[in-house]
Amino acid sequence: MGNLLSNTSTEGRSSQQRSYDEILQCLYTSQYESHRDRVPEPVEGTCTWVTEHQKYKDWWEKESSGLLWLSADPGCGKSVTASFLVTYLKNQTNAIVCYFFFKDDSEGQRSATFALCAILHQLFSQRESLCRYAEEAFKCKGKRFTEEVDTLWGILVKAVAEGGCGDVICVVDALDECEERTLDPLIRHITHLPGPQTSHIPLKFLVTSRPYHKIEMRLSSPKTTIRLKGEDEVKALTADVTRVIDEGIEKLESYWERPGGLGYLRNLLESSADRTFLWVSLVLGILKDCVDPSREEFANIVTTTPRDLAELYTKILDKSTNPDKARRILNIVVAAARPLTLREMNVAFKIERRHNSIKDLEELPQGFEKTVKNLCGLFVRVIDSKIYLVHQTAREFLIKGSSPGHGNWQYTLCPGDSNFIMTDICISYLSLEQFASDPLVLGDTYRKKESLDSYLEKYTFLDYAARHWTYHFRDLKDQQMELFEFTRLICEAGSRRFLTWLQVYWFHVRPPYPCPEDWTHLMIASWLGQKTVVARLLEEGGDIHARAETHGTALNLAASREDEDITRILLQKNVKAYIYEKEYNILDVKRPPRLTRLVHN
């Protein structure tokens, strides 16, 4: 009897552990550690002014929950300061410190759901028993619970309030770079944290952002927010810039083997920096790359470098060895859903529609990083073999808005054109002959991930193209038909090309379920919400009533995705729906009221 009880208890713990493991895996929706690693290390002695500021002390000494908002102008070191504070708080307190760094150049850093998932992942990793507060949501919604701001916030507050984990501090950087759709509910929750119902919860937030009016309107209530205006801390920022300049000069002296010989640059740099760390780092980079390290040339560089960032960016890009190739790289960087690796960029940079084989594309040549630098200069950075723009202001400098730009580069990239280039690149890659002659075969083996990783290592750009071409194509809107004919090849029913990219895509969006092998072009277009493509395929006729064994017809798929427009189009063409090989009236199936209305109409 004792053994039976022991075994039952062990099985219960084992089942609970599996549940906790699954919850942690679901919450790991972004590589938040590497996102922080993008941020440069602070120079010794910098950023400490924040922790010595009375506003910071007021926030820290509050026994109740609280919000500290650190605002500062572009290029003034907010992200470096946020990273410093993560380390400082971990070293100086017994609190659990969690963090997230927003960036709008990466899909994994744009959404508040990713931020909350990262915070919960860090919290649960340090206090695994707190996973129990996510069990109900996980049981009811599966992985989908990670897509809801309100659900994630509720789990966080309840875990901290009831879990006995002690103080929890969340550092969230660049709130202004969070997408609008999830920013509003996140700010609403954060600002209500010090309210009468939640003030007793040992949960504090420290957020940074630019002093934008839209953020100020949402955060500025003195009842809920303590604001530290970095833009007003002239003395402290100037002192930090001086420290950065001093270290930069020391490194330059070491690089050029001139110890103590570049001190004359200090006053020149200080007089032009205007409390902007970004400007200083760019000028130091120009000095390092200079071919003539004479005193006269160095002094000339510092004194003639524009103080205005837009003019400085123009000057950097005007030195490109090939402006057309530089513009292609910049279009790719701006449009990419996530930062590309050097290997991925090499393929994306070179591929054209005329290419039929991987053999037409050279493997990553030695020195490709140097090629990128020669084309784009200090306007881009390579970190851990991934390519980034030097700063968020660089992205804003490039992207076309309502105002006219100056020079050859400012406001010259149209997001629609950049996205078209990226869509064309992805489709061209997926059309290559290798995916027909050497297709991906995963099957249902327990080594599926290992097989996939091995295949993706072989075909460098497949992971990006398979997972993202559909989103780029969706965003083409009125331009979709320009590339429609090229999508036929990669969406041909049963073809090896189609099944290769679909397996990669499916592995990431529907991992528990087997990838369909019997979908038609109409089915995948209906699943992906490609309304224009669906309409075109229906006009052409063909087997519009084709049925997949598991998923039914195109109408089944559109209805399951709750896509009103495509469901309406398919109904107008009398496309049928089936369940278990039996035709049924879609009106008889339980569905959201909106879908019922559109069917009746």
The whole-angstrom separation of Cα 386 and Cα 383 is 5
What is the DSSP code (8-state) at residue 259?
T
Shared domain for 35 and 99, answered yes or no, is yes
Shared domain for 298 and 366, answered yes or no, is no
Residue 293 has pLDDT above 50, yes or no: yes
Shared domain for 135 and 37, answered yes or no, is yes
CATH of residue 474's domain is: 1.25.40.20
pLDDT of res. 396: 94
Number of structural domains in the chain? 4
Q: Which of 202, 231, 260 is a domain's end point? A: 231
pLDDT of res. 586: 62
Q: What is the mean pLDDT of residues 419-432?
A: 97
Shared domain for 255 and 371, answered yes or no, is no
Is the residue at 313 inside a domain? Answer: no
Q: Which of 307, 337, 358 is a domain's end point? A: 307
Shared domain for 209 and 129, answered yes or no, is yes
pLDDT of res. 4: 47
Of the candidates 575, 528, 520, the residue with the CA atom closest to the CA atom of residue 549: 520
Mean pLDDT is lowest, of 202-216, 315-329, 395-409, 432-446, for: 432-446
Which tens digit of pLDDT belongs to each residue from 312-362?
999 999 999 999 999 999 999 999 999 999 999 999 999 999 999 988 887
pLDDT of res. 597: 39
Q: Which of 175, 205, 231 is a domain's end point? A: 231
pLDDT of res. 5: 44
Residue 89 has pLDDT above 60, yes or no: yes
Shared domain for 198 and 276, answered yes or no, is no
Please report, for residues 133, 434, 445, 499, 515, the alpha-carbon distance to residue 450 in angstroms, rounded to integers and kept in the order given.
32, 20, 10, 18, 17
Is the residue at 94 inside a domain? Answer: yes
Is the residue at 597 inside a domain? Answer: no
Shared domain for 24 and 82, answered yes or no, is yes
Burial call 579-591: b when 16+ CB within 10 Å, e when fewer: eeeeeeebeeeeb
Q: Bigger pLDDT: 404 or 84?
A: 84
Is the residue at 594 inside a domain? Answer: no
pLDDT of res. 201: 87
Binning pLDDT at 50, 70 and 90, where does residue 574 land? confident
Contact between 281 and 251 under an 8 Å Cβ cutoff? The reply is no
Is the residue at 601 inside a domain? Answer: no
Burial call 516-554: b when 16+ CB within 10 Å, e when fewer: beebbbbbbbbbbebbbbbbbbbeeeeebbbbbeebbbb
pLDDT of res. 434: 95
Percent of the chain with pLDDT over 70: 92
Q: What is the mean pLDDT of residues 446-466?
A: 90
Helix ranges, 399-530 (H): 415-430, 434-437, 448-458, 462-474, 480-490, 496-509, 521-528
Q: What is the mean pLDDT of residues 240-255?
A: 94
Is the residue at 2 inside a domain? Answer: no
Q: What is the mean pLDDT of residues 290-318?
A: 92
CATH of residue 211's domain is: 3.40.50.300
Percent of the chain with pLDDT over 90: 69
- How many C-beta atoms lie closer than 10 Å to residue 210's C-beta? 19
Residue 276 has pLDDT above 90, yes or no: no
Residue 48 has pLDDT above 80, yes or no: yes
The whole-angstrom separation of Cα 523 and Cα 556 is 9
Shared domain for 57 and 206, answered yes or no, is yes
Of the candidates 271, 343, 334, the residue with the CA atom closest to the CA atom of residue 307: 271
Is the residue at 539 inside a domain? Answer: yes
Contact between 222 and 59 under an 8 Å Cβ cutoff? The reply is no
Is the residue at 598 inside a domain? Answer: no
Tokens for 511? 């991992």
Of the candidates 234, 186, 229, 227, the residue with the CA atom closest to the CA atom of residue 206: 227
pLDDT of res. 285: 93
Dihedral pair phi/psi, residue 456, rounded to 5°: -65, -30
pLDDT of res. 344: 95
pLDDT of res. 542: 81
User: Range of 216's domain?
Assistant: 15-231
CATH of residue 413's domain is: 1.10.10
Q: What is the mean pLDDT of residues 119-127?
A: 96
Q: What does the mean pLDDT of the chain come to?
A: 89
Shared domain for 494 and 540, answered yes or no, is yes
Shared domain for 21 and 167, answered yes or no, is yes
Residue 239 has pLDDT above 70, yes or no: yes
Binning pLDDT at 50, 70 and 90, where does residue 474 land? very high
Shared domain for 159 and 222, answered yes or no, is yes
Q: What is the mean pLDDT of residues 379-384?
A: 93
Residue 505 has pLDDT above 90, yes or no: yes
Please report, for residues 205, 216, 341, 358, 555, the alpha-carbon distance to residue 172 in angstroms, rounded to integers and kept in the order given.
7, 16, 26, 42, 43
Shared domain for 387 and 521, answered yes or no, is no
The contacts of residue 132 (CB under 8 Å, 6+ apart) are 20
pLDDT of res. 28: 94
Residue 577 has pLDDT above 70, yes or no: yes
